[in-house]
């Protein structure tokens, strides 16, 4: 995730530099420079950094599945309140 963030900042900096070279240099044009660089860098990052986002998303999904499976295994190993209640209900009908 840190690598992704650094690459996003690098793309933003490059866009900022390109727009500065294109003539957005004065103090009054500073907001336009930043907005143009931000919008352009978002579009570029969306397409060029997609594989990195997908890998990170798959890693997070895998971690969530592992945690869910571990919790389910712990619940099966420990008798819970539901099991005790079911046993009481079964005994009361006998």
Q: Domain tally for the chain?
A: 1
The first and second tokens of residue 10, run together, are: 């690098």
Residues in the chain, pLDDT under 50: none
> Do 19 and 44 touch, CB atoms closer than 8 A?
no
**Distance in angstroms (rounded) separating the CA atoms of residues 21 and 14:** 11
What domain range is 58 assigned to? 2-92
- pLDDT computed for residue 79 by the predictor: 60
Q: pLDDT tens across 40-59, in order?
A: 999 999 999 999 999 999 99
The first and second tokens of residue 76, run together, are: 């099966």
For 36, the enclosing helix (H) or strand (E) is: helix 30-48
Q: Which residues have CB under 8 Å from 42's CB, separation 6+?
A: none
- pLDDT computed for residue 83 by the predictor: 64
């Amino acid at each position: 995730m840190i690598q992704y963030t650094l690459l996003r900042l690098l793309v933003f900096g490059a866009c900022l530099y390109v727009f500065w070279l294109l003539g957005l240099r004065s103090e009054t044009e500073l907001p336009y420079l930043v907005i143009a660089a931000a919008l352009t860098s978002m579009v570029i990052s969306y397409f060029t950094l997609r594989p990195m986002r997908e890998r990170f998303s798959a890693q997070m999904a895998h971690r969530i599945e592992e945690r869910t499976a571990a919790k389910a295994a712990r619940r099966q190993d420990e008798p819970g309140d539901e099991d005790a209640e079911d046993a009481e209900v079964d005994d009361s009908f006998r």
